[in-house]
Amino acid sequence: MFNFRGIIYDKKPLIMGILNVTADSFFDGGKYNSDKQIAERACEILDEGGDIIDIGAMSTRPNALEIPEKEEISRIEKSVKLIRKLFPNAVISIDTYRASVAEVAINEGADMINDISGGTFDSEMIPTIGKFQVPYCVMHTPAPPETMQNNTNYDDIIADIMRFFSQQIDKLHAHFVHDIILDIGFGFGKTLEQNYLLIKNMETFKQLGFPLLVGISRKSMIYKLLETDANNALNGTTVLNTIALMKGASILRVHDVKEADEVRKIFLQQK
């Protein structure tokens, strides 16, 4: 159960549509840079059944490099202002691990923060979330994007991630944050085999008592297994999204909103 804009969501899984205002994201980098492109993508997400628009201004694909803080803030500020003006009731999430970006975005009307580091890359992030009391997604990654795929050694990957979540949840509770979402971090510092082990054991993470966000859309864990590429990974994405819902996912983070909504409709019909 979690609260967005005064609405409690606990009845059905939600779909988070990806809006990357970046030049180098692995699938859609460079597609949504102008006001017109951003507005059209936001409208598409909502029209196709999306519940949340997740805006990212800095790529976090493997080997991605940081962009300057001012550049990330500028992109996010522009995008949130535009979407909030055009779609006043839209739920806006911000994909960032910088507290300064989160603060600007929230002040412009963003509703939640989606942090790939779960509060580990910026020591001010969790206090900032506590200050504004917005929903916060804690994702697991062992290292920044430029080095994360060199950090795939775990004593016990499931136990290690459970321990990480427990530690970050305690820190959030210390700042009176209770609208918490957990993201296992598929593709972030994990091998292909580890990703599928985590899918297989997703129910374990439900024991923590918080909604699970699953972001596997068109990732290499799909296209490398199928010996194809991101452009041809939609069918594999649909299969994994279906499995994720069956294993208890509460939010699907996707590029292809219409197809994810169809998965959700069929899943709910079988409950």
What is the C-alpha end-to-end distance of the chain, expressed in Å? Answer: 18
Please identify which of the residues 219, 224, 258, 265 carries the catalytic annotation.
219
Q: Which of 75, 85, 87, 81 is nearest to 20 (CA)?
A: 75
User: Would you call 219 a catalytic residue per the annotation?
Assistant: yes
CB 104 within 8 A of CB 149: no
Rounded CA separation 263/266 (Å): 5
Distances from the Cα of 181 to the Cαs of 39, 63, 138, 177, 230, in angstroms? 27, 26, 6, 11, 26
Please identify which of the residues 163, 253, 258, 265 carries the catalytic annotation.
253
Long-range contacts of 172-179 (CB under 8 A, 24+ apart): 172/119, 172/126, 172/129, 172/130, 172/136, 172/138, 175/126, 175/127, 175/129, 175/130, 176/130, 176/133, 177/126, 177/129, 177/130, 177/133, 177/136, 179/2, 179/3, 179/112, 179/133, 179/134, 179/135, 179/136
User: Would you call 253 a catalytic residue per the annotation?
Assistant: yes
Enzyme catalytic residues = 219, 253
